[in-house]
Structure 1
Amino acid sequence: CQVTPLISPFSPGIMLLIYDRTPSYVPLKILSIEDGKPLKLFKHLLHRGKKIDFIEQFNEKLLVKQEDENLQILDVRSSELIEISIEKFMTPSAFIFLYENNLFLTFRNRTVAVWNFRGELVTSFEDHLLWHQDCSTNNIYITTDQDLIISYCKSDAAADDGTASSIGSINMSDIMTGKCIAKIAANDPALSIAPRKNGSPSIWSSIPEALEDVTALFYDEDRNEIYTGNSQGLVHVWSS
């Protein structure tokens, strides 16, 4: 029987093994990474004929979602099972687990939401429409305290001809409230380009050019600076 080991960085010391499914269940085993001993072996019941969208592990919680079925949140220690209806929770394109707050982020159709492990929606964001449809995590940063999310987002600005702008914005939002607390946007009159220093490179971008087609984003929490890279191979530094 072949297995696919999934190791979650937010579940220290635990490895989840997912065995080949049968028509009615999938065998699962939780191992201790320290000594390889099995901690729990069990069978999770499935709906016959429905593909598995995902199986995700977060500490003692197991998230299982099948095609066109409710999300199941299983506590592997107590065997308590919680279901979230498919009308409320649709399959996301990506997850980020917030181990400090015992919550998880979901990304779907450019939107972000925060959930708890009781199946309750904690936060929806008021101004945080992601630029990329497929949720490129290269353009998303979660702070160490897991209280802020910084992302490359769709901008409200329009192009000169009235069409949708190809220039995005960098939005910083509070994870617990969903409020946008800061934004770097091309139409912000407070933004300016730092003076050129002696010996500095001769390649310069305008602010709109620097916010176009951003492919990577990083926030230096010590220096309070945001670094972005774009498809032209240029790196820009944003500081207050």
Structure 2
Amino acid sequence: MDVNRRNFLRGAAVGAAGTAITGAALVKGAEVDANAAAVAVPPSRYPFHGVHQSGILVPPPAEKQNFACHVAFDVISKDKDAVVAAFKTLTARARFLCDGGTPPDLGIGAPPADSAVLGPVVESDGLTVTVAVGSSLFDRRFGLADRKPAKLKPMTVFPNDFPEAAWSHGDLLVQLCAHNPDTVHHALRDITRAVRGDLQMRWRIEGYNSPPRPSGTGRNLLGFKDGTANPVSDDAEKLVWTGDGEPAWTAGAPTWWCA
């Protein structure tokens, strides 16, 4: 084979350039990995019990999870006792999911205790489950009218607002937040399966944090900065939580959601 000297040298030069580019890419990749390792890893677990529910001020803004789902339910329980049982079931499932663990083996004669979407062990993955009640829960169905918070009412309709009933209100609102979307979806499936005879899904909306920018505060899909106005410390204690004049069962726990 006749190899032209000029073509040979040109090919060698291209090969050398390719090697240089590959080497540079490997170096750059190593730098990216090193920078990623240097970034603080958010906690994998947040307390389920406390004076306030997690998912509002805990975790703090710098540790907020990247994925969330808000789900509204209509309570279809037959009576007050069934409502109490449903809330206890919801609490038990939420506690397990937030703490993480291995689902029990119920034996060959029973359905699996878990969908196994996350594998044989359910990792907490920073999951928080936050529960709110709507004003409609305190109607005549379950005898809870005397326990209704004084300031709790249906969402106000302002001029030029045209809310859709299918995407508004609900007896119960559950917020699920986690570091990864699979954890959120798994928690939603687990909880809805556990309470399917008492809670009927009304609507759900999923959300996520925008990926970090090279510099500056992240922005949402409308171009607005995310999270820069969230109150913290003393301001949060004064502005977020309900004040005096509410039923005793609300002390220290609730805030207000608009849905």
Q: What TM-score, normalized by structure 1, do the two folds share?
A: 0.26
Greater relative CO (CA pairs within 8 A, separation 6+): 2
Computing the radius of gyration over CA atoms, which structure comes out larger, 1 or 2?
2
Q: Which of the pair is proportionally richer in helix?
A: 2
Q: Which of the pair is proportionally richer in strand?
A: 1
